[in-house]
Each structure stands twice: as structure tokens, then as C-alpha cells.
Amino acid sequence: MTTSLADHLRALPDESLAALLQLRPDLVVPVPADVTALAVRAESRVSVARALDGLDQFTLQILDAARLTRRPEDGTSSTDAVLALATAGPHPPAPTSVRSALDRLRALFLLYGPESALRVAGGVDEVAPYPAGLGRPAAELDPRAAALCADAAKLRRTLLAAPPSARAVLDRLAAGPPVGSVPPGALQAPAVGAEDELPPDPTNGGAPTGSPVRWLVDARLLVRVSTGTVELPREVGLLLRRDSGPLGPLRTSPPPVAGTLREPKLADSAGAGQTMELVRHTEALLESLAAEPAPVLRSGGVGVRDLRRLARVTGLDEAATALVLEVAYAAGLIGETDLPGATTTRYGADQQVLPTGGYEVWRAVSLAHRWEQLARAWLTMSRQVGLVGQRDDRDRPISVLSAEAERAGAPAARRAVLEVLADLAPATAPSPDEVLALLDWRAPRRSRGREAAHREVLTEAAQLGVTGLGALTSYGRLLLAEVTEADGRGGGDPLGLRSDAESGEPSSAVRALDALLPAPVDHFLVQADLSVVVPGPPDPMLAAELDVVAEHESAGGASVHRVTTASVRRALDAGYTTEDLHALFRRRSRTPVPQGLTYLVDDVARRHGGLRVGSAGGYVRSDDEALLAEVLADRRLEPLGFRRLAPTVLVTPYQVQRMLLALRDAGYAPVPEDATGAAVLARPKIRRAPARAATGHSVDPLAAPKPAMPRLLGVVEQIRRGDAAARAARRAPAVVRGGAARAAAGPMPAHSHSDALAVLQQALRDKALVWVGYVDAHGATASRLVRPVSIGAGYLRAEDERTEMLHTFALHRITAAVREG
């Protein structure tokens, strides 16, 4: 009869062992040396916790039933005992549901062995010390409490005598967990004169003895387990649960979701409209950063002052602006770069945040492609934007783009929330409470304590257009499926960095969104008041032209721009000629070009370049002496300190760029010229941060890659060979003797993993030197002579006396151990 997990795994066929590795892929990273090492890893705290995190509430309750029904003599349970306990409540589940949960637990090897002798994997009790939220048996806590619990009638009488305040404490602990912290002094004897305020103790003749907790401890209903901590004995908890069953309420299926059924087209249209807003806000934010980069704080991230400035530019609140900023950073559209010629700013930093070269590429693709890049970055980034503005553990505010907002579980939380919406009927909009209830049933260990983060996901999904009217959009569903599929493959595009523009084939999400968005337009309508109306989203070329020749006024389904003197002058400064501008308006406008616009362009062009600016410091020259006299007499330009060198030349000690800005602010239209007198007409230089890839992770960065079955069968074969070699080595006589020989050969391969652990534990007790063989992070084998310091929590900590360094070894990576000498 198999008694250990290693023996049980060793007896399995290759296909069954490969099925285990497929369900728990973390067991093969790195590949175990033999079956014993695989069993140790399968029962380790980290691997067991990862397996438990993926179980639903009912399956976890059935596992608790197996733990509660273990026989004291051999620590095993049985299927019949589990069925009896699970069906003991007022609303028993169907036996088939219980058996299905047991089958799942056995497939994961959290339970193993025959049905008549089920064993619980070793690490389960360490990860979840209180099965079903019940405490330890009274016999393990306190002999006097055990005596009380042994007398069922006396236990019921004591419970009935508990005052209301004490009974409230019992009910809270009976719901789990069964331990509680006690305020200082709560277990001390009462002060003289305070007896009238304390509940009586029926075991002490009705005399008051202290607070409600003190009353319960004196009554043996609670047991003090340490200073300031009490525990509810299991027997008391079971008695308090007599109405709900020993395992608590059992629900074999997820809670129902009523939700609101939306019209699918309306939900998609609402989401599509929000995608347009997201792209527009992102572009406005990045243009603002290009014009005025945000300095990086010494502690990292962008300061509150700059976040508020960007919020005013985008017209969003600070939380929504932080989301756009974080998503743009994750998508690789913005980055940090060193300040030119400076070492500090008002924040004390030497870097700035501004758009990267990828921003230009992003602007050139379609609106749906732009949205997909942002939404994919949000879905996979390891940032929890809702933490921005809160306080960290050192009571400092968390700033946007700072390292304190990193959360490795953020991608998995987003996918969990969106999968709840995806599993509902299309266009169903559940309430946030319904979503949280579903998550709490599907994976209670993962969702515990993350309610606020899950609510933030729903809010962010609506702001990004992934959901519309509270329901998951059709294109959002497709994007989620693509990211999940990439995560399941574990390759190809695990980080979600694939660019549809580069692959030439748009994704299904892009195609679905394209069908919902209005077609890009390549024309506009010029009004008599010189306003330019674009009746739809402009194509990238038209948008670039409008950025130069007009001022943006309003956005929406139809955006509005306006041609002004400043915008025409900006176009001329960028290199457009008068004929270029007239041709642009004739080509793009679907309405006759107003005469006022023609006059405006001609008038600005006539005055453009009337003044020429060069360096002296700086000089101004013009053939129009009257114009130079006007400049010289203009009081607004007095700070420049102009002096007349000739009837047609003025000079100033200041640099050309400052003079250009001052003249333009005063209403003049100067242009710079080079040393030959030719006009220098060019767009201003645009600074960009170095290009960087989008930052993203697998949607569950804590999960191991999921190899295909053929690869797993190869791994099983490798483990079998290692196991056979270990058995042969144990049977072979030792041929290397003496400390010097061992030092040359390193660890002897004659030890299995369990033997190696025994050697290490003995060396720890003897404070002896030991050779440790292990597999490093790259999969290579190595050895080291060390003195063990501690063994616990899945790690060996040992000192290398030669280098006087402390090393930490994961126990599942250790392959051999040999005493020195």
C-alpha cells in the first residue's frame, strides 16, 4: 500500500504523470531530478498555494471536508467520510457534485491514494491551517477546554449562558478564521469597583470576571494560544454551526447574476464612442508632454503639479488622467530621457517624461489599431493605477508612473473580472456587487482582499471602451480571447507586443471595432467665420495638416478647428508657401473656400518675413525703415535693448530665439535667416524620448509556461531516467572516501532528494560542513561547500566559510548533499 506521494507518483503511468504536470506546470520549472524531488516540490508551500488559488469555493470546501475527516491513527480519510460530512448540512449538495470535486482534487494531487485511504498533500495544512475556518480540536489547545467539550450537555449550557456581547464574539470566530487578536488588558483581571459592568461567569457562581473575551476564556469557550491571541476550539465552532452545517453554506454552482440586458448594438456603440475619446485624450496628453515635458521626481514618477496640468489639458479628472498616462507608458508611447545640458530641475530630478519615437508610428495607424495598442497594454501591464494618490507603507503619496504602483497580480485581476463579463450572455451588464460575488465563488483565495482592485477594473474598462453601458463589448470580448490565447500558448507573443501594423493582418478585435467606428474622412468644411469642421475622425494625413494650419477648438463625432493669424503664421514658419496653403484648402474643403480665408492667408504671407532676425547677440533687419522705427519705439520690446546700427538694422544683446518669441508676442511676423541672408523656414525641433517596447506581462505573470503534452511526456521520461539513476546509485557501493576526495568530486550522486534533506538537517544540528549539489536558475548543475544555518519555508540558508557569504538555496532545486570529512 502506497504511503507517500513519491511512491504514488512513481506508480503512475507516464500519461497520468504528464497530466499532473499539465495541470500544475510550475512543477517542471526547473525539471526535477527524480520522482522524489517532484513529490517534494508538489507538496511545497509555494506550489500548493498556487494550486489552491485556482480552486472554486465548493472544491475548497470539499478539500476541507477531507481534512476534517482524517483518522487520527493514520491521517487518512475516505470518500464515504467526505460525502457524509458534506451532506450533513441543511441543504446538502448532490453526491455527484462532491465526487466531481474530489476527482479534481485528486487530479491536482492535493488528495491522493485509494478512495478508502485518501491522503492530503503535505503543504495544504501549512498554506491553510484552519480547515473550513474551524480551529484545532480542544485536546490540542487546552486540557480544561477539552474536558468541557467532552461533556456535550455542559458545553451547550455554557453557550446558552454567554451574554450577548460574548456570543457576538463567538459568532464572528465561528464564521472563520477561528483566531482573534485581543486588545492589551482585555484578558487581565478587572479593576476593583468595575464588577457591575462585567458579564457574570456561570462557572464561577455568577461572579463577574472581565471583558467579554475574558469571560469566554474563563468559561473555556476560547483558549489563549499566545499573548494577545485567542482561538476557538473546533468542537465549539461545530456546535455554533449546527444550523448551517459543519462546512458552512455549500454552493455547488456560482451565484446567479441578474444583471441588465442591454441592446448589443447600443453597448457596442457606447464603447466605440469611448474608444474615440480615449485615443483623443491620449493624443492631447502626449502633445502636451511634447510641448512641456514633465520632470521625473527623485523618488520616481510624475509629480502632482504636472498631473494636474495634464488633467486640465485633457479635460479629465486626475484619476482618469493617471490612467491614460499609465496606459500610454505601458504601450511604449512615452518614456524618460535625460535633460539637455542640465542636471537638476525644481524637483531635483535629471530626467523628463515625453513622447517616444513610437508615438509617431502610433499616430499614423487607424483609430482601431491605436485603441487596441492601448487596451492590450492596459490588460497586460503590471500596474494598479488605483493606487495613485494613496499612501505607501512609509506614508508617502504614490505618484503616477512610480514603482510603488507595481502589482504583479494586476493582469490576473483584470482578466478575472473581464472573464466574469465574458461568461455572461452578450450585452449583459451585471452590478459590481454581482461581479464580486462571482469572483469570490470562482477563486476565493485570489479575490480575498482585492475587492477595491476589482471595482477599479470595472471603472477602468468603461473609461477605456472595453465595456459599454456596463457590458463587455464584442470587440473587447475578442481582445480578451486573443490575450488569453497568447497566455495559454506561453510563446509567440507572451507579452502582448505584437503589432498588427507590422504583421499586416489586423486582429479580429480591430476588425470588429473598425466596423463600429465611422470611416476616417479626408476632407473638411470651411465656414465663413474661418472655422473648419471635420465631419468624422480625420485620417492621419489630414490630422497632421490640421495640426499645423488651424487651432483645435472642440472634439467629438465632428471636430471643429479654426484658422487664425497665428496658425497661418505657424504654417508659413513650418515651410508652407502661400500657394501651398491655398492649394491645401481647395483640395481638402468640400465647401467653397471663403474669401476671408484667402485674404487672411495673403495678408499674413505679405507680412511674413518683413523682419529678418540673425545673431549678433541678435539683429533685426528690414528694408522698411518705418517698420524698424516702430519696433525701436515699441515699449513692449524695451527689455530686448534694441540699438540702431543702420537705417535698416537693429541689434540686441539677447539670443535670436528669445528675440523671435518677443517680436511674435508683440504682433510682428519675423522670420530667422542664415549667414547668407536666406530665410530659415522649418518646423520646430520635436524632442522625443528613446524608443521603448510596450511594458506588459503574461496576464498571470506568476504562472509558469504551459508546455504541450509531447513536451511533458519528454519531461516525464527525463524524470524517470533520473529516478532510475538515483535508485541504482543508492544500491551501488560508495567508492569515494575521505574529505579530500569528496572535495574534488563534489557531492556524491548517491542521495535521493529526501536523503539529501536528511543529510542537511543532520548537518544543521551538528553545525557541520556539507557539500550541496543544486540546479541553478539557468538549469545547470553546480555544487558548493557550505555550513547550514537554517532550513524552513522551502529554503536552505547556509554560509560559505571561504567567501564569508550567506547563500540561499530553494529546497526543490537541491539534488544531493554529502557531509564533509
Conformational region of residue 139, where left means phi above 0, alpha means psi within -120 to 50, and beta covers everything else? alpha
Q: Round to whole Å and give the CA distance between 329 and 125.
A: 42
> DSSP letters along 769-793, please?
-EEEEEE-TTS-EEEEEEEEEEEET
CB 269 within 8 A of CB 516: yes
Q: What are the grid coordinates assigned to 697, written together?
A: 506581462
Tell me, rounded to whole angstroms, the distance of Cα 664 from its chain centroid: 48
Q: Round to whole Å and give the CA distance between 419 and 479.
A: 12
List the alpha helices (DSSP H) in 636-705. Answer: 656-665
**The pLDDT value given to residue 469:** 92
Long-range contacts of 582-586 (CB under 8 A, 24+ apart): 584/545, 584/549, 585/526
**The pLDDT value given to residue 339:** 65
Q: What are the grid coordinates assigned to 144, written together?
A: 480544561
Amino acid at the residue 495: L
**Percent of residues, the chain, with pLDDT higher than 90:** 31
Q: What are the grid coordinates assigned to 170, written together?
A: 463567538
Which residues, at least 6 apart from 277, have a Cβ–Cβ distance to it below 8 Å?
A: 465, 555
Q: What are the grid coordinates assigned to 577, written together?
A: 508657401
Q: Round to whole Å and give the CA distance between 79 and 56.
A: 19
**pLDDT higher than 80, residue 2:** no
393-427 per-position pLDDT tens digit: 788 889 999 988 888 889 989 999 999 999 999 99
* CA neighbor of 334 nearest in space, from 698, 694, 696, 683: 694
Q: Which 3 state secondary structure label does DSSP give 702?
A: coil
Per mean pLDDT, which range of 58-67, 324-333, 465-474, 647-656 is the poorest? 647-656
**The pLDDT value given to residue 267:** 93
How many beta carbons lie within 10 A of that of residue 309, not counting itself?
A: 16
Beta strands in 349-395 (DSSP E): 351-355
Q: Round to whole Å and give the CA distance between 372 and 698.
A: 17
87-103 per-position pLDDT tens digit: 887 888 999 999 999 99
Q: What angle do CA 480, 486, 489 make, to 5 degrees?
A: 140
**The pLDDT value given to residue 449:** 85
Q: What are the grid coordinates assigned to 554, written together?
A: 472642440
Q: Which 3 state secondary structure label does DSSP give 303?
A: coil
**pLDDT higher than 60, residue 30:** yes
**Percent of residues, the chain, with pLDDT higher than 70:** 85
Residue 454: its H or E element: helix 451-463
Of the two residues 225 and 504, the one the predictor is more confident about is: 225
Q: What are the grid coordinates assigned to 329, written together?
A: 507608458
Per-residue confidence band for 696, with pLDDT thresholds at 50, 70 and 90 = low
Which residues, at least 6 apart from 765, have a Cβ–Cβ distance to it below 8 Å?
A: none
Which residues, at least 6 apart from 90, have a Cβ–Cβ distance to it below 8 Å?
A: 243, 244, 245
**The pLDDT value given to residue 270:** 93
Q: Round to whole Å and give the CA distance between 297 and 31.
A: 44
Average pLDDT over residues 311-324: 91
* Ordered strands of the 223-226 beta sheet: 179-181, 229-231, 223-226
Residue recorded with cell 477594473: 457
* CA neighbor of 264 nearest in space, from 125, 471, 561: 471
**pLDDT higher than 90, residue 736:** no
**The pLDDT value given to residue 743:** 39
Per-residue confidence band for 343, with pLDDT thresholds at 50, 70 and 90 = very low
Under DSSP, the state recorded for 200 is: B
Pairing of strands 611-614, 670-672: parallel
Average pLDDT over residues 358-374: 90
**The pLDDT value given to residue 212:** 87
Per-residue confidence band for 612, with pLDDT thresholds at 50, 70 and 90 = confident
**pLDDT higher than 50, residue 114:** yes
Of the two residues 386 and 505, the one the predictor is more confident about is: 386
Cα-Cα-Cα-Cα dihedral sign, residues 381, 383, 386, 388: negative
Residue 651: its H or E element: strand 649-652
Q: Round to whole Å and give the CA distance between 573 and 609.
A: 9
Q: What are the grid coordinates assigned to 760, written together?
A: 542537511
801-812 per-position pLDDT tens digit: 777 778 888 887
Q: Round to whole Å and give the CA distance between 276 and 283.
A: 11
**The pLDDT value given to residue 464:** 94
Q: Round to whole Å and give the CA distance between 453 and 416.
A: 11
**pLDDT higher than 80, residue 607:** yes
Per-residue confidence band for 373, with pLDDT thresholds at 50, 70 and 90 = very high
Mean per-residue pLDDT of the chain: 83
152-202 per-position pLDDT tens digit: 899 999 999 999 999 999 999 988 889 988 876 666 654 433 333 333 444
List, in sequence order, every residue forming a beta bridge with 471; answer none if it has no partner.
468
Average pLDDT over residues 625-634: 88
CB 325 within 8 A of CB 284: no
**pLDDT higher than 60, residue 496:** no
Residue recorded with cell 574529505: 739
Q: What are the grid coordinates assigned to 301, written together?
A: 514618477
Q: What are the grid coordinates assigned to 5, written together?
A: 506521494
Q: Which 3 state secondary structure label does DSSP give 336?
A: strand
Rounded-to-10 torsion of CA 12, 13, 16, 18: 110
* CA neighbor of 353 nearest in space, from 284, 295, 314: 295
**pLDDT higher than 80, residue 514:** yes
248-290 per-position pLDDT tens digit: 888 899 998 888 899 999 999 999 999 999 999 999 899 899 8
Beta strands in 153-222 (DSSP E): 179-181
Cα-Cα-Cα-Cα dihedral sign, residues 340, 346, 351, 355: negative
Tell me, rounded to whole angstroms, the distance of Cα 378 from its chain centroid: 9
**pLDDT higher than 70, residue 340:** no
Conformational region of residue 804, where left means phi above 0, alpha means psi within -120 to 50, and beta covers everything else? left
Residue recorded with cell 531635483: 348
How many beta carbons lie within 10 A of that of residue 195, not counting itself?
A: 13
Q: Which 3 state secondary structure label does DSSP give 356?
A: strand
Conformational region of residue 111, where left means phi above 0, alpha means psi within -120 to 50, and beta covers everything else? beta
Q: What are the grid coordinates assigned to 615, written together?
A: 545673431
**pLDDT higher than 70, residue 52:** yes
Per-residue confidence band for 318, with pLDDT thresholds at 50, 70 and 90 = very high
Which residues, at least 6 apart from 396, have a Cβ–Cβ distance to it below 8 Å?
A: 299
Bond preceding residue 177 cis, omega within 30 of 0:
yes
Helices (H), strands (E): how many in the chain? Answer: 35, 26
Q: Round to whole Å and give the CA distance between 649 and 233.
A: 98
Q: Round to whole Å and give the CA distance between 213 and 166.
A: 7
